[in-house]
Structure 1
Amino acid sequence: MADSFNFELVSPERLLLSASVSEVVIPGTDGEMTVMAHHAPTMTTIKPGVVTVVSAEGKSDRFVVFGGFVDILPDGCTLLAESAVAVADIDRDALSKRIQNAREDVADAANGAAKQKAQEYLDHLTTLEAAI
């Protein structure tokens, strides 16, 4: 059995998870990385994607995150996300409607800055859709 370490997933709204885990897969900006106990100290930014957490008991949970950074130490890991949601908490029908509205917003954007902001939001939503 793999050693466990402390993991916390925090968003500006709340603490989503604080648990003893055996591994965490993180979407780093330089590529996906798996964190395990005794990992070398590392700090990196994360890109929008899915974080997979395997508890010390072997249960797997998935969270969609939208940017942020992660601080990894040999005995713990803290992920500070700009925004995060548990995959299990996502309403598929509501998400589909939001994606359609976001596509319309991109098409209707009046200028480059508005179009870029609308496109970033659409990208976040499609990341969510891909996760579920």
Structure 2
Amino acid sequence: MATFDLELVSPERLLLSRPVEMAVIPAYEGEMGVLPNHAPMIVALRGGVIRVTEGGQETEQLFIMGGFAEITPTRVTVLADEVTPVATLSRAAAAQRVTEAEAALAAAADETPEVRDRASDRLMAARAMQEAAQAA
């Protein structure tokens, strides 16, 4: 089967760089499957799980807290704010993040719309992390 190069980059380092058959990424508009020869685009990512398919099987699940993806017909580069393998997610840590994000959103009630939106995005990402941790 045809492949494309998938690169996953966090602020600290390059985490993944190899040919894959398919990647499902958590775009803001919804889950987005990427195959070789995909139309070029740049998409914003929300907190969620990237699923990687190689050899006809899902080989990896990586949780990201958000970021951007640049898609070309031969390459997908994901610039992620934070990356954690789903298998290593902690339910307790995810629950703590949800609690902190809820408090931050409540504290942002009188702030500008941009500040409230960022706080809301963090809460949605924390809730997605909690769901992924429970499913792992």
* TM-score with structure 2 setting the length: 0.76
What SS does the aligned partner of 1:125 have? Answer: helix
Q: Is the 8 A contact 2:66 2:125 kept in 1?
A: no
- Paired AA for residue 112 in structure 1: D
The one-letter amino acid paired with 2:126 is L
Q: Percent identity?
A: 35
Q: Structure 1 residues 100, 48: CA separation in 2 closer, same or farther (over 3 Å shift)?
A: closer
Which whole-Å CA distance do the structure 2 matches of 1:87 and 1:61 have between them?
8
Once the 2 structures are TM-superposed, how far is the Cα of residue 28 of structure 1 from its aligned partner? 1.7
2:15 corresponds to which residue? 16
Residues 51-130 of structure 1 mapped to structure 2, 5 A cutoff: 51-56=50-55, 58-104=57-103, 106=105, 109=107, 112-113=110-111, 116=116, 119-130=120-131
Structure 2 Cα separation of the partners of residues 102 and 46 of structure 1: 18
Query: Where does structure 1 lack aligned partners over 5 or more consecutive residues?
Result: none
Deviation of 1:4 after TM superposition, in Å, equals: 1.4
Aligned to 2:45: 46
Residue by residue over 1:15-70, the C-alpha shift from the partner in whole angstroms, topping out at 9 and shown as x without a partner, is: 22112211001122233211111222222222222211112463421122222211
- Distance in 1 separating the partners of 2:30 and 2:119: 25
Q: CA deviation at 1:75?
A: 1.5
The CA RMSD over aligned residues, in Å, is 2.6
Of structures 1 and 2, the larger Rg is shown by: 1
Which residues of 2 match residues 24-39 of structure 1 at below 5 A?
Answer: 24-39=23-38
Give aligned pairs, total. 130
Question: Which amino acid counterpart does residue 125 of structure 1 have in structure 2?
Answer: A
Q: What is the alpha-carbon distance in structure 2 between the residues aligned to residue 24 and residue 112 of structure 1?
A: 39
Superposition TM-score, scaled by structure 1 size:
0.78
Where do 5+ consecutive residues of structure 2 fail to align? none
